[in-house]
Structures are given as C-alpha cells and as structure tokens.
Structure 1
Amino acid sequence: MKHTYLKMALLSTALVASGAQAQDAALTIESWRNDDLALWQDKIIPAFEAKHPGIKVQFTPTAPADYNAVLNSKLDAGSAGDLITCRPFDASLALYQAGHLTDLSDLDAMSNFSDVAKAAWQTDDGAATFCVPMASVIHGFIYNKDAFAELGIEVPVTEEEFFAALEKIKEDGSYIPMAMGTNDQWEAATMGYNNIGPNYWKGEEGRLALIRGEQKLTDPQWVEPYATLSKWAPYLGDGYEAQTYPDSQNLFTLGRAAIYPAGSWEISGFNAQAEFEMGAFKPPVKAAGDTCYISDHTDVGIGMNAASANPEAARAFLSWVASPEFAEIFGNALPGFFPLSDTPVELSDPLAKEFVGWRNDCERSIRSTYQILSRGTPNLENDTWGASVAAIKGTSTPEELGVKLQAGLDSWYKPQN
C-alpha cells in the first residue's frame, strides 16, 4: 500500500512539474512591422501576458524590405521565431507549402473570421488556413484640410473634380498638388494603379475574371488606369522621378503638399508628424453616380512556425489574437490597420473612421496582383510597379504596357476556367 501511495505521490508531483513547464514558455514573433515595435512592447504583449502569466512574448521585427529574405534564411536554418507575421496570399502560401507554417484550421477561434478574411491565408481550395487574420488596409487619398479651405477646394468625388482640384492647387503655387515619387516604384503601383484601378475593373468582378482568364490586361478596364496615371506627372512636383517614399511622406507632413495618394497604414505616422488637420477621400469615380470600389486589402496575419518548440503556447497566443480584446487594442492603437474579426470594433481616430466608413458606401476588393497572378516569372506584381512608373513618366503608352504585362503573364500562367 505504501508503495502505491508513493507511486501516486511521485506521479502527481511529476504531473504538476510537467504542467508548470508547459506554461513556462517563451515565444518570439517574427515581423516586418518594425514601426509597431512600441505598440507590441507597451500594449499588445502586456495585455496577453496578463492573461497568460506563464508565457513570455518577444516581438523581433526586421526591416520590411529585408523581411522575406531574412525570414526564409531563419526558417531554413531552424532559427526562426515561434510565430510568423504573415503577408497575404502567395508569400505565405509558399511558406505553408514548404512546411514552415502549421495548418490552423482546427483552431476554434478561426470561427471569428469570415471566409473573405481567411482567404488571404488559405490554400487555393480553402482546405487549410495557416495564419490568423489580423488586419486590412484601405487605399485612398489623404489631404491637408487647411490647404483645401485656403484654396476653396471641395473634396473631389469624380475624376473630373479630382483633376480640377489638382489644377487649382498647381495654379496657386503655394503647395505641391500631390506628394508621390517614382524612385521606389512600388508606391506608383500600390498608391497609384491599385488605388484607382478597382473603379475601372469593378473590384472583385474584374480581379477574379482576370484569374479565370476571362479578362486580359490588354482589356480597356485594365489599360485605362495607366492612362489616368499618365495625367498625374504635372502635379507631382519638380524632381518626382528621384523622390523616395520617405521624401513624399515628409513633403506632405511638413505641409508642402496638399494631397497624398495613400494607404490607411500612414495614419499613425502622419498623426504624429503633421501639424494640420487631415481628411481622406476615396478614389474618385469616373462619373457622378458610378458605383465606387475600394481596395480594402487583407494585409497582415500571424501563423505558427511548424518547427516551434512551444506549439501549445503559440496556439494560445494565436487564439488570443483572434479575440475581441486583441481587435480592440490593435484597431485603436494602430489606426489605419482595421481588424478583420467579425466582432465590430469602435474606432476612436477620426481619420481611421473616415477610411473605414467607405466600407458602407463602396464595393470592396484587394490588390489585383496578390492572389495567384504573381507566382511565376516574370512576377506580375513587380512588373506592375515598373508599368505604373512608365505610365506616370510617359515612357510607354498604356496600350504598350497592357500588351507587355499580358505577354509576361501568358508566358507562365494558364488559367483553369
């Protein structure tokens, strides 16, 4: 009998010790969002650790331009963190297919997200979901309210009104009409082509038709946005060709430019730097009364490194990221990154509220090149950067750009109708 009690006591002690070890875990998060370091350290991580005192979390971001390469090197070397911040669609799908990300379909908290929200981090057939959706960003234009009031300019709704506003600002000469350069290329596509484009190809209708092969990049709805971009150059200021992305940000926040082609991700930085009141307007429609379309782009998710030594703790963190508590913290601490969970979040930032309010007025889509169409070589996303720059500079006609882009896509992509 004594032996029985002794064995039970030892087993009980072992179980307690095992349980303590299971709770004593340290998690590391990989991310490209280096601007968010203080948010994670000061708000998100303390809120999680308060609910999970046995789990410690460290946020270790990499510069955005280096993230993919650094992350892949770490994953191949077995030194990557437990949690991987996920870019949308193909970049993360490739990580899952390489065995680096875990299928999270059985995570109960996944029921907090719509199919649309999850689609950016699923296999093509939807059978596996490998990242918890965190946030989307919305494209549009941010403007200097003081400049508009000073010059008597109304917020433009149509393209005619938009170009009339730009012309009025240019004629006055007090402000650069619009702050955007072409040096870094990506912004010409992201804040140019994929900002205004959904109004031409009718958002998801056109994007999905392109994937199915029912539309081509030589069709008018895909060529015309380049023609519109070609009209931007006179309003971008002297030397825009050499102007970097940070240069453009500075020109706007210093009050030297009246309009900034934007994504909502700029809100936090602009709030901290600009000393004038800002407003936002959606991409202008071609004609009054047209249905408006916005790029409400699924942008950030988070998944689990399949090689994590702390899978239980990692799943606990991912479940919490899917909770209303996280959505509330994230949506308000990082205005312009809009939570994707089904639970409504009341936002406090006025500029963020303007952006997200467009969801009530417009049809929503995502960037045209991000799903499926940039998996091959040449890469359509990168080629769209160059094409958008060429359109603005006028070095190629919109029709020539459509032909070149479609030829590149045809060389490797065979749509399955």
Structure 2
Amino acid sequence: MKNLGRLTAGLCMLMAFSVGSAQKTQLTIESWRNDDLKIWRDTLIPAFEKRYPSIHVVFSPTAPTEYNAVVEAKLKGGTAGDIIACRPFDASLALYNAKYLSSLNSLAGMKNFTKVAKAAWSTDDGKTTFCVPTAAVIHGFLYNQDLLALVKGSEPKTEKEFISLLEAIKRRNSFIPLVIGTKDQWESATMGYQNIGPTYWGSEKGRLGLLNGTAQYNKGGFLEAFQALARWTPYLGQGYQSLAYPDSQNLFAQGRGAIYPAGSWDIATFRNMNPKLKLGAFPPYTAKAGQKCAVSDHPDIGFGLNAKSKNQAAAKVFLNWLAGDEFAQLYANALPGFFPMATVNYKVNDPIAQEFLSWRKSCDTTFRSSYQLLSRNANPNNENDLWNASSQVLNGKMTPKQAADFVQKNLASWFTPQKGK
C-alpha cells in the first residue's frame, strides 16, 4: 500500500505538469559536464520541454576542476540551481550529510535502479538514495581492426590468448601492440589494474571483501591483478613512461597502435578524432579458460534535488524523467559510451557502444575497487595509491608484490576492517 501511495502521488504530480500552466516554472541544472552542453541544449532539454511545456530548463555547467568548490559555495549561499549533478560516492554524500541534497527514496522513478546502481549515491547503510543514477562507463579494450587483420589476430578471451596476440603484433615490429602511457598515472590504474582486475578478484565479491576485511590487496586476486598488469610491460610503446593520456589517444587515433586499454568513454573521442578508424572492442579477458568475464561498470554521474529549491514539484518531474526510457534512449545515443543506469528499454545505435553495453548481460559486473569508502581518507588515499603503484609496476620500478604491499599497508593504516591484515 505504501508503494501504491507513492506511485499515485507521482502520477498526480506528473499529470499536473503535463497539462501546462499560464506561467512556466524554470529549473536550473548545475553540472561539471561542460563538454556536453550542446547535447543538453539541443537534444535533451527540448525533448523534456515538449513533454512538459510548463517547465523550462536551463543547463548551467561549471568547469570540472572548479565544480565541487563552486557548487558547494552556491549551496551554502542559497544560490544553487534546483538540480545538482552528483559525482559518485563521497563528494555527493558529503552534500547530502550537510542537508544540501534531499532524499529521493519516495521518487517513483527510483524503482528503475538496482541496489548496485544506487550504491554510488546512497548512504553508507544503503537506506537512503539522494541522486538519480544517470550514467555509467564500462571498461574494456578497443582495437584497430585493420591492424589486427594484418597479424590475423582475433579477439582474445583469456590472458593466455591476450599475451599471444600481443606477441604476434610485437614480432611484426611495425606498430605498438598496447597503447597506454604512465606519465599521468591514473590510466595505469583506471585503464589497467581496474580494467582487468575484476576477473582476478572475483568481481563484486572481491570488492566487497576489501570493505569487510576478508580480502586484501596483497593476497589472492588483488595481488594476481598486479602480476597480470606487469605482464603488459614488454608490449608498450617506446617511451611510454613519458606518454600522457592525450598522447596515447593521438597515437591510437592515428593508427599507430593495435590495442588500447580503454573505457567506453573513449568511443566518442575516437569517432571525432578519426572517423575512418575501424574500431573493434572486446571485454576484459579472463584469468583462465572457462571463467565468466567480469567488467567494471562504473557509475559516472547522477542528479540530485537541491533541498532548498523553490521548485520541488517541477524538479521531481524532471528527475523522474531522467529515470525513464525516453531519456535513456536520447542520452545513450547523444553521448555513445555513457550508458544510462536505469533498467529500462533503450537501443544504442553506435555498434561499438552497443558491444560494450552487451557485456552487462554476458559478464559479471562491479565497479572500481577504491571508490566506495576506501578513498575517504585524504592521506594516504587508496585511489591515489593505486595510481602510483600501478604506474610503477608498468614502469618496472615496483614488483607486483611490492606494489600490493604498499597499497595494502596504507589502507590498513586507517581503514578499520583492514587493520592488522
């Protein structure tokens, strides 16, 4: 009966804003995604306003590096917009704990999200969700179809097949087998360790093991993932230690490398950089034959309700729309590689984006091990430690065991479930 009441209230609210009114309500969205302003302005907002003509929406982005500080200052000063773009986990949780964001538990559209999808925007006990999970990115590998054809290569399913393919490319000695740099460090962890890691540590079971203290970075699958990462080193391009992220993107886009450890977020980038590049994609390989693949399906962005918004009813109409199939269809195709998290029906037109999306059905899913709780400490910080350790493994400056011990020691120094482990 409680759920029926919530649904009835939600339908009444939707009807109220469907019929229009003499005066439009204006909603302002705060976001750090200034790169997709055109998509909101030309595609998403017009579709919403066509359905709800009594609501006018303004998308007001801030530079990504300035967003956290700017939006918090606006919320404190009472000048923030009605809808707040939410970064995953702690940054948004802090806003909710400060009573800047409202609970969305009663929002009708929240029924369209799984517990895992809501985890990035929920309280530690999982009882309250304060942002609508909007889009995730999926890890995997992109490859140049023409270059793989030159070595008669096929998409690898296991680590053994992956290394064999890299060997074949290396023997040709005319293009880079594996395109990734270590200068910026984060790629080594995000596109390396966190990409292949889930299959070694058992996907969500392993990630939760770090949270409850039954798993450690220097044992079992988490150590094995560092060992697997070290096996990439012989196949990286000359001078990879000095390559920054844009350098690696340029090398791959120019056709100078065969395989690119990636995330789905790079699909649109390569489409724009080189429309003639024949892209292929395969999921993270398994540790051995017969295993089920596992992918990091990582939460990227959500949207919450400013607790002090003067347009609460209209804002909830908009947030419900974000949770539905019309938004999912529009967003998934306007920004290929950023996937709606709602369990609704939508079709992705880009074939490579669709390939990434298909892995949700064929593989186990989890998200990056360091994001929930484990990077809450400023120094040492688990995410930063993984950047450092992963890049040093690829650079040959740390052995996998040294890297794993370093990350584990720092985590155990402050995270209670890991103390003494």
- TM, length-normalised to structure 2: 0.90
Range moving further from structure 2, 306-315 or 35-44: 306-315
- Asked if the contact 1:181/1:244 (under 8 Å) is kept, the reply is yes
Range moving further from structure 2, 21-30 or 400-409: 21-30
Take 2:304 and 2:90, find their aligned partners in 1: how far apart are those partners? Answer: 14
Take 2:221 and 2:26, find their aligned partners in 1: how far apart are those partners? Answer: 51
Match of 1:7 in 2: none
Partner-residue secondary structure (3-state), 1:205: helix
Q: Identity rate of aligned residues, in percent?
A: 53
Cα offset, 1:288, TM superposition: 1.4
Cα offset, 1:21, TM superposition: 8.8
The answer to whether the aligner puts 1:354 opposite 2:345 as a matched pair is no
User: Rg bigger for which structure?
Assistant: 1
Cα distance change, pair 334–50 in 1 and its aligned pair in 2 (3 A):
same
Give 1:126's aligned amino acid: G
Match of 1:386 in 2: 388
Match of 1:12 in 2: none
Take 2:117 and 2:234, find their aligned partners in 1: how far apart are those partners? Answer: 38
Cα offset, 1:193, TM superposition: 0.7
Match of 2:204 in 1: 204
The two structures, once aligned, show a CA RMSD in angstroms of 2.1
Give 1:360's aligned amino acid: K
Cα offset, 1:232, TM superposition: 2.0
Give 2:323's aligned amino acid: A
Take 2:76 and 2:97, find their aligned partners in 1: how far apart are those partners? Answer: 14
Match of 2:412 in 1: 410
Give 1:46's aligned amino acid: P
Per-residue CA deviation, residues 332-389 of structure 1 (Å, 9 max, x unaligned), is: 2222122211212122111011111122221111111111111113211111111111
Take 1:176 and 1:24, find their aligned partners in 2: how far apart are those partners? Answer: 56
Take 1:402 and 1:23, find their aligned partners in 2: how far apart are those partners? Answer: 60
- Asked if the contact 2:180/2:240 (under 8 Å) is kept, the reply is yes
Cα offset, 1:22, TM superposition: 9.4
Cα offset, 1:230, TM superposition: 1.9
Structure 2: where are the runs of 5+ without partners? 1-18
Cα distance change, pair 73–173 in 1 and its aligned pair in 2 (3 A):
farther
Take 1:50 and 1:166, find their aligned partners in 2: how far apart are those partners? Answer: 51
Per-residue CA deviation, residues 122-179 of structure 1 (Å, 9 max, x unaligned), is: 1122221100111221100000001111221111111122122222222222221122
Moved over 4 A (4+): 19-23
Matches within 5 A, 1:283-302: 283-302=284-303
Match of 1:400 in 2: 402
Take 1:360 and 1:406, find their aligned partners in 2: how far apart are those partners? Answer: 32
Match of 1:282 in 2: 283
Give 2:117's aligned amino acid: A
The answer to whether the aligner puts 1:322 opposite 2:330 as a matched pair is no
- TM, length-normalised to structure 1: 0.90
Partner-residue secondary structure (3-state), 2:165: helix
Give the length in aligned residue pairs: 399
Cα offset, 1:416, TM superposition: 9.6
Match of 2:237 in 1: 237
Cα distance change, pair 200–100 in 1 and its aligned pair in 2 (3 A):
same
Cα distance change, pair 222–148 in 1 and its aligned pair in 2 (3 A):
same
Cα distance change, pair 79–173 in 1 and its aligned pair in 2 (3 A):
farther
Take 1:290 and 1:25, find their aligned partners in 2: how far apart are those partners? Answer: 53
Partner-residue secondary structure (3-state), 1:246: helix
Take 1:102 and 1:56, find their aligned partners in 2: how far apart are those partners? Answer: 21
Range moving further from structure 2, 303-312 or 322-331: 303-312
Take 1:251 and 1:413, find their aligned partners in 2: how far apart are those partners? Answer: 40
Take 1:220 and 1:65, find their aligned partners in 2: how far apart are those partners? Answer: 36
- Asked if the contact 2:37/2:61 (under 8 Å) is kept, the reply is yes
Cα offset, 1:23, TM superposition: 5.1
Give 1:63's aligned amino acid: A
Partner-residue secondary structure (3-state), 1:189: helix
Cα offset, 1:20, TM superposition: 9.0
Take 2:241 and 2:81, find their aligned partners in 1: how far apart are those partners? Answer: 39
Match of 2:187 in 1: 187
Match of 2:217 in 1: 217
Take 2:277 and 2:78, find their aligned partners in 1: how far apart are those partners? Answer: 48
Structure 1: where are the runs of 5+ without partners? 1-18
Match of 1:152 in 2: 152
